Amino acid sequence: MGDGWTLEAINFNLRPGELVGLLGPSGCGKTTLLRLVAGFERPSLGRILIKGQEVAGSRRWVAPERRGVGMVFQDYALFPHLDAWRNTCFGLKPRQDRSRASWLLELLGLKGLEHRYPHELSGGQRQRLALARALAPGPSLLLLDEPFSNLDVEVRLRLRSELPGVLSRCGASGVIVTHDPEEALAICDRVAVLEAGRIHQCASPRQLVSSPASAFVGRFVLQGNLLPAAWEGQRLRTPLGWLERAVPQANSYLAGLSGEGKAGPLEVLLDPTALELIADPDGAAWVMGREFLGRDWLLQVHLEQPSRPPLKLRLRLPLDQEFSNGQRCRLRIRPSQSALLFPAGLRVVGVSDDGELSGS
State in words which class domain 227-359 has: mainly beta
**Residue among 13, 7, 59, 52 at smallest CA distance from 30:** 7
| H or E element, residue 331 | strand 328-333
Single pTM value for the model: 0.87
In CATH terms, the superfamily for domain 19-207 is: P-loop containing nucleotide triphosphate hydrolases (3.40.50.300)
Long-range contact pairs involving 81-85 (C-beta distance under 8 Å, separation at least 24): 81/117, 82/117, 83/114, 83/115, 83/116, 83/117, 84/110, 84/113, 84/114, 84/115, 84/116, 84/117, 84/118, 84/121, 84/129, 85/114, 85/115
pLDDT tens by residue, the chain, 360 residues: 445 578 988 888 898 889 999 999 999 999 999 999 999 999 989 999 999 899 999 889 999 999 999 999 988 889 999 999 999 999 898 888 899 999 999 999 999 999 999 999 999 999 999 999 999 999 999 999 999 988 888 889 999 999 999 999 999 999 999 999 999 999 999 999 999 999 999 999 999 998 898 889 999 999 899 999 988 888 889 999 899 888 876 454 445 555 554 556 889 999 999 999 999 999 989 999 999 888 888 999 998 765 678 899 998 877 777 888 999 999 999 988 888 888 887 666 555 555 555 555
Q: In this structure, which amino acid lies at residue 290?
A: R
Domain ranges of the chain: 19-207, 227-359
Q: Same fold for the domain at 19-207 and the one at 227-359?
A: no
